[in-house]
Chain A
Amino acid sequence: MMKKGTLALLLILAVLLLGTIPAFAETGQSGQNRLPYDISDTAGLMTSEQWQKLETAAEQISERYQCGVYIVTLDDYKSYGSYSSIRSFSEDFYTHYQMGMGERRNGILLVLSMADRDYSLIAYGSDAHYAFTDYGKQVLADSFLDNFGRNDWYGGFSDYVEGCSELLARAASGQPLDVSYESRDGITEEVGTAVVIGVPLLVGVGACEGMRRRMKPVARQSRADEYIVPGGIHLDIKKDVFLTRTVSRTPIRTENRDSHYGGGGTTVNSGGFSGQSGKF
């Protein structure tokens, strides 16, 4: 349940949003607190053409997969309340504006707060959790964070929308992007298939060749170990001369970023959200 203070702050936020972007003045069909657009660029990072293009794409994807694809940009999320993190702000935002599609309110939301260059990527609803696994969200974040790092906002949002489309399409085909299909150690699905076919084949051929060799044991002897006279080995010269020494230093790589994704799947918190946040 949302606290009264938080609700009040959100109401203020809503008023602010309505004041800054005319679109927010409209209300959704199902209630007072629904946003009329999937892309809300309060921070003004895109031109109207860019916004229109992405809004159309996001709407189409949301409709096709019945899972909302949202972007919200803000100057500073802290100005909307005493949120401990952009993540908690995003979850409140999603809940307050009744975002998501269908009964389960499936959706994914990317929030950018420009003051401290914070971002949050959260998903809600069982279908969204299925499509956007922890690993999938990390791959998705990787696709746009490099653009945001260069202040390429439209490029980053485009990558986000396209990435959402790809992940939803994979989920629709029954193979959501997860470590099972593309492991953290860089094992692609193709490599996995090669391992499943190649390793058993190699083991099988190795075992069968071993059996075949047992069928053909006749061979010329190449050594005469058994005929050495007892005590007949005399090493008269046994010299080991040190020549030189070289030293090389190699930096040790830090631990693999993907190692966070132990068992794959999606981690959902008590509020029903999954996601990640950080800086860009």
Chain B
Amino acid sequence: MPSQVTNYQCPSCMGPLRYDGASGKLQCDYCGSSFTTAEIEKIYQEKLEQAEQAAVDAAAAEAEQTGEHDGEEWDNSSTVWDAERDGMKIYNCPSCGAQMICDQTTAATSCPYCGNPSVVPGQFHGMLKPDYILPFKLSKEEAVESLRKYYRGKSLLPKKFSASNHLEEIKGVYVPFWLFDGKVSADISYKATRVLSARQGNEMVTTTEYYDVRRAGTVRFTRIPADGSRKMPDDLMDSIEPFDYSELKPFSTVYMPGFLADIYDVDDRESFERAQTRSANTTLSVFDSSVSGYSTLTPTRRDVKVQREKTAYALLPVWMLSTKWNGKNLIFAMNGQTGKFIGDLPVSMGRYFAYLAGIAVPLAAVLAILLKMM
């Protein structure tokens, strides 16, 4: 059970470090020092080994002390909140000592009291350890600017909405994703017709040829993503694809300071259903498009088998932005690597009908004149 929280601290001034996507280094905002991820990983590996040794020593000392106790302990079971039973976890901030209450999937956060970025390395032990992490490349400022740009050219956006910037919250989140490799085998039969028409004297001669068509084979897919977080809307996560996987790094928590991170709470089996549907649809489309030269094409039999091969677990960078409009929460997402920005915007029905009238009325006038001239 993870209970330890780590602040990556500046080896020079002990200030909190945060990962800077632009430079790819860990930055100290207090003394201005910056460190490569490899440097910090090395320092913290040494610290971890020392801490483990200290923990072994402390346990031995405690065992000795327990033997000396007379058994008097406070019974506070009726007053102490059992946070874990409610699906929450309590951590102590290593900077200020304050208690942080997070939900069970939180893997990186910031202390609400001192603001220092904190990572819960224990969340990533065993099966929960991601294979890869895709570090953030774009900053918070770029995400805010992208939101502003996103409003531009949206003719139906209510004027009041675009005029006032009511950004409620912005956070960089490492979202857990499953990346599926697989092979789809398909065997499809079609009925097809080819229609040819030619004039012969005063007759139009139409020849219809009928064919049986069959296509069978396989299509291989790699790293189809499906997010493994219930908190994240699936459609929003799908909409910020694709990510450039060539920049994936072996997992390390050093890329996390300054961002939030969750571990998965939707397992790979459940997430695979999405990848399965997508890959099957693409395979059918690929096979359909391999049949050409016909006037009509009707599938009569479709056997599609999706075979799952390798599955990777990765944390992918997403900027989440939220605003409020007419009491409704609007959520936007930006791909923290490519900058692809997406989100549903409110529609002004007044503007909608104004545009409708602006298009339809002049067109009706032109059509009326043209019909009159005919």
Contact = CB atoms under 8 A, between A and B. Distances in A.
B308 interface: no
Interface in A202-238: 203-205, 207-208, 211-212, 214-229, 232-238
Contact of A196 (B156, B212, B222, B368): B368
A246 interface: yes
A208 B355 contact: yes
Q: How large is the interface on A (under 10, 10 to 19, 20 to 34, 35 or more residues)?
A: 35 or more
A237 B342 contact: no
A181 to B, nearest CB: 9
Nearest to A237: B216
B282 A224 contact: yes
Interface residues of B, number: 72
A236 B216 contact: yes
Most buried by A among B199, B222, B346: B222
A200 B356 CA distance: 9
B239 A218 contact: yes
B360 A204 contact: yes
Interface string A243-258: 1111111111000000
Interface string B195-237: 0000110111111111111111111111110000000011110
Contact of B202 (A201, A212, A221, A251): A251
Contacts of A113: none
B154 A196 contact: no
B215 A238 contact: yes
Contact of A238 (B223, B278, B290, B360): B290
Most buried by B among A203, A208, A224: A224
Interface string A11-27: 00000000000000000
B187 interface: yes
B356 A204 contact: yes
A49 interface: no
B128 to A, nearest CB: 25
A196 B367 contact: yes
A134 to B, nearest CB: 14
Contact of B356 (A180, A197, A208): A208
B322 to A, nearest CB: 14
B221 A227 contact: yes
A236 B218 contact: yes
B364 interface: yes
A228 to B, nearest CB: 6
B209 A245 contact: yes
Q: How would you classify the secondary structure of chain A's contact residues: helix, strand, loop or mixed?
A: mixed
A72 B373 CA distance: 36
Contact of B361 (A200, A219, A242): A200
Contact of B347 (A215, A221, A243): A215
A194 B222 CA distance: 53
Contacts of A201: 356, 360
A2 to B, nearest CB: 39
B300 interface: no
Nearest to B241: A221
A227 B223 contact: yes
Contact of A220 (B206, B235, B242, B344): B235
B349 to A, nearest CB: 10
A218 B341 CA distance: 10
Contacts of A243: 210-212
Given A200-B361, A244-B210, A224 B217 contact: no
Interface string B61-86: 00000000000000000000000000
B286 interface: yes
Given A180-B374, A208-B359, 17 more contacts: A199-B367, A203-B359, A204-B355, A217-B344, A218-B236, A220-B234, A223-B278, A223-B281, A237-B215, A237-B216, A241-B211, A246-B208, A249-B203, A249-B204, A250-B203, A251-B202, A252-B203
6 contacts: A204-B355, A218-B343, A218-B344, A222-B281, A239-B212, A241-B211
Interface of A: 179-180, 183, 192, 195-197, 199-201, 203-205, 207-208, 211-212, 214-229, 232-252, 264
